[in-house]
Amino acid sequence: MNSLLLSLALAVTPAPQAVDMAAGEYRLAPVPSLSIAGAEQADSLRLARYASQHGFSVPRGKSKTNIRLVASENSAPAEGYKMTVGKKFIEISAADGAGLFYGLQALMDLRDEHADGRIPCMTVTDYPRMPYRGMMLDVSRHYRSKDFILKQIRAMERLNLNRLHLHLTDAAGWRIESERYPRLNTVAAFRPDSTWKEWNANGNQYGGTHGGFLSKEELREIVDYAADRYITVVPEVEMPSHSEEVLAAYPLLSCNKTGRGNSNFCASSEATFEFLRGVLDEVMEIFPSEQIHIGGDEAPKGQWLGCPDCSALMDSLGYESPDYLQSRLIRRMEDYLASHGRRAIVWDDALEGDGPTDNATVMSWRGTEPSSVALPVIMSPGRFCYLDSYQDAPSTQPEAIGGYTPLEFVYRYEPDTAAVGLQGNLWCEYIPSDSHAEYMLYPRMLAIAENAWTEPQRKNYDDFRQRALKESVRMRSEGFTVFDLTTEKGNRPEALAPVEHLARGCEVTYLQPYWQNYPASGLQTLVDGICGGWNYSDRLWQGFAQSTPERVDVIIDLGVEKAVSSIGATFMQICQPDVWMPEHVEIYAGNDPENLVMLREIDRVRTPDTAVSFETFGWEGNVTARYVRYRATAPSGGVLFTDEIVVK
């Protein structure tokens, strides 16, 4: 890449698809004049208003200017644009208003990069890789104000993101004004505890002074503000589960009619469907988006098996599994939306049972690939796109839900080419403040945006990181809280290079099976020389959770008798998901696997904390042995994760 092209690449995010440099430069005036031609009236007004607010002069009438936005059917694909920077003019052409808007964003990036006003001559041909490019804000777990949401829309507009998914309802709070069901606002929107953690620890009570909801007027303002930036707001109303707040307000909608102990709506009650239709009527009144997200994830369907009415309905319909009760509910709501010209988005859990109708779009958080589903799929896998995880060494960061998802890891994710969209999700159980939310979003949302816009062959992480650094400076100057990439410590040091030791590559016999949900590399995990990073989500840590008690118990065959001076294994502890250090460890060695000698026995008291911590449990000394046995037992109800048994 030549220096001029590098200069452009460092300026425009997401990176454009094609750039052809030319000789010369355009001298940009301090307040450049800009004209708009050929666009629909609504687009012309929208673009003129936006440009005027961002340092451009937009003369009325048909005044000739040196910077022109031109709508043309023969221009780039939908939402794409072509920008030509000549010595005497700049022209941005596009087939639609969105394309002109994104071309204007690229010009603004160039203006920021070339503060002296000297913009190199070039032609940029650009278009989005995916039609759906989204960011999700969870405003249920901690209420966010209208002003906070508008601020995030301003960040989205600079990144060519076009969908704002608002997770408006969940157990922790209902955030939409409802005139039809007022107890959703007087009961379900408030709680006695200010943070989700306190609320969860204190028994999930409702009512009180903490929380709130967005009025219909505020939500319409958010919708209009986003639309002026070619962003569609997609509302989500959870069903059939994650609905404890609704059931607290309207307990007769639950299977047990008390609301307590149930998270699902009663799937057999027509009152449930009447309520959900009424809610969707109010949602559709506020949000003009074609797509409405109706949830469908993580329903504990066993609740329905304990309900006489739901069980009777299953029998009458011949359902073998409660999965089909969920499908029935989801499909009825989809049909209701379709009767109003709308389409449903559902989480990929809703594929269970009969699945959704052919009219739905699937949002994949568990990794369901488009190639396995005969429906449009928006990728949002938790491993790569959940931004509530740590983005650097946990000890250096504010509290997160766990995980380790640094900027580079997000950027290097390549979604299935058949996906119709990509979305970054910010869940906020552990994120009580606005500044903390922004800190978790940025700059990782820049990586999501580029992955959704830029073709893979045009991506380059080193180049992107330099642009992310510059964009972070700009965002801070505009009042955003952004993670500081210049202080990034990176992954756990032990994970950066393989470790050589006597057991590497040796045969391992598992006397207790490992957890199939977290197999890492299977039978060779504990002797492959590869240590794990800051969290088991990297799939380098092997889990042990299905034996009784949960236990690591393996014998390693060193092949021949060897002099051994140390044996050790490292475990992690993250208390919230019940990942614990072992409470008891036994280390053996010898030449007869049936009659090994215990070298050390270790007892550890279970010590809860809020940190992500690591500890090595080992033995040091001198012994000759062919076989090594390592046993580690978890506290009751706990899960063990270890990455390598190092023998030296």
**Rounded Cα gap, residues 425 and 162, in angstroms:** 14
**Structural domains of the chain, count:** 3
**Is 109 tagged catalytic?**
no
Q: Which residues contact 53 (CB under 8 A, 6 or more apart)?
A: none
Cα dihedral 593→594→599→603 (10° resolution): 110
Query: Where in the sequence is the domain holding 227, given as residue range(s)?
Result: 132-236+365-487
- Active-site residue, selected from the candidate residues 157, 170, 348, 644: 170
Examine the domain organization and report whether 553 and 422 are in the same domain.
no
Examine the domain organization and report whether 193 and 54 are in the same domain.
no
**Rounded Cα gap, residues 54 and 41, in angstroms:** 20
- Active-site residue, selected from the candidate residues 142, 165, 167, 242: 242
Phi then psi for residue 537, to 5 deg, are -65, -10
Q: Which residue carries 């009767």 as its tokens? A: 339
Which amino acid, one-letter code, is at 573? Q
Residue 271 within a domain: no
Picking from 78, 95, 126, the residue at the C-terminal end of a domain is 126
**Rounded Cα gap, residues 447 and 13, in angstroms:** 9
Examine the domain organization and report whether 632 and 525 are in the same domain.
yes
Residue 71 within a domain: yes
- C-alpha distance across the termini of the chain, in Å: 47
Picking from 126, 155, 190, the residue at the C-terminal end of a domain is 126
Examine the domain organization and report whether 51 and 171 are in the same domain.
no
Q: Which residue carries 């053996």 as its tokens? A: 588
How many beta carbons lie within 10 A of that of residue 634, not counting itself?
25
Residue 243 within a domain: no
Cα dihedral 8→475→431→254 (10° resolution): -80
Give the residue from 210, 205, 312 showing the smallest Cα distance to 249. 205
**Is 242 tagged catalytic?**
yes
**Model pLDDT, residue 7:** 57
CATH code (residue 197): 3.20.20.80
Is-cis flag, bond preceding 443, omega within 30?
yes
**Model pLDDT, residue 65:** 93
Examine the domain organization and report whether 416 and 430 are in the same domain.
yes
Residue 614 within a domain: yes
DSSP code for 86? -
Residue 357 within a domain: no
Residue 270 within a domain: no
**Rounded Cα gap, residues 258 and 247, in angstroms:** 8
**Model pLDDT, residue 9:** 61
Q: Vertex 249, ends 244 and 253: CA angle to 5°?
A: 70
Give the residue from 88, 38, 148, 647 showing the smallest Cα distance to 426. 148
Give the residue from 399, 368, 403, 182 showing the smallest Cα distance to 279. 182
What is the pTM for the complete model shown? 0.95
Examine the domain organization and report whether 563 and 584 are in the same domain.
yes
Examine the domain organization and report whether 207 and 95 are in the same domain.
no
**Is 298 tagged catalytic?**
yes
Which amino acid, one-letter code, is at 500? E
The residues facing 507 across adjacent strands are 557
**Rounded Cα gap, residues 428 and 152, in angstroms:** 15
**Interval 68-108: pLDDT, tens:** 999 998 878 999 999 999 999 999 999 999 999 999 999 99
**Model pLDDT, residue 162:** 98
The residues facing 423 across adjacent strands are 134
**Rounded Cα gap, residues 591 and 254, in angstroms:** 62
Examine the domain organization and report whether 369 and 470 are in the same domain.
yes
Picking from 102, 126, 150, the residue at the C-terminal end of a domain is 126
Examine the domain organization and report whether 497 and 441 are in the same domain.
no
Which amino acid, one-letter code, is at 525? T
Residue 576 within a domain: yes
Examine the domain organization and report whether 508 and 580 are in the same domain.
yes
Examine the domain organization and report whether 171 and 117 are in the same domain.
no
DSSP code for 95? S
How many beta carbons lie within 10 A of that of residue 340, not counting itself?
10
**Rounded Cα gap, residues 347 and 330, in angstroms:** 11
- Active-site residue, selected from the candidate residues 40, 298, 335, 478: 298
| Angle between helices 41-53 and 97-113 in degrees, nearest 10 | 20
Examine the domain organization and report whether 630 and 500 are in the same domain.
yes
Residue 618 within a domain: yes
Helix (H), strand (E) at residue 185: helix 183-186
Q: Are strands 640-647 and 551-573 parallel, antiparallel or unpaired?
A: antiparallel
- Output the six-digit token pair for 626: 């062919």
**Rounded Cα gap, residues 535 and 489, in angstroms:** 15
Give the residue from 552, 532, 557 showing the smallest Cα distance to 625. 557
pLDDT along the chain (648 residues), means of 10: 59 95 96 95 97 96 88 91 97 97 97 95 97 98 98 98 98 98 98 97 96 98 98 98 98 96 97 98 98 98 97 97 98 98 98 96 96 96 97 96 95 96 98 98 98 97 96 98 98 97 98 95 98 95 84 97 98 94 97 97 93 96 98 94 98
Give the residue from 223, 249, 89 showing the smallest Cα distance to 169. 249
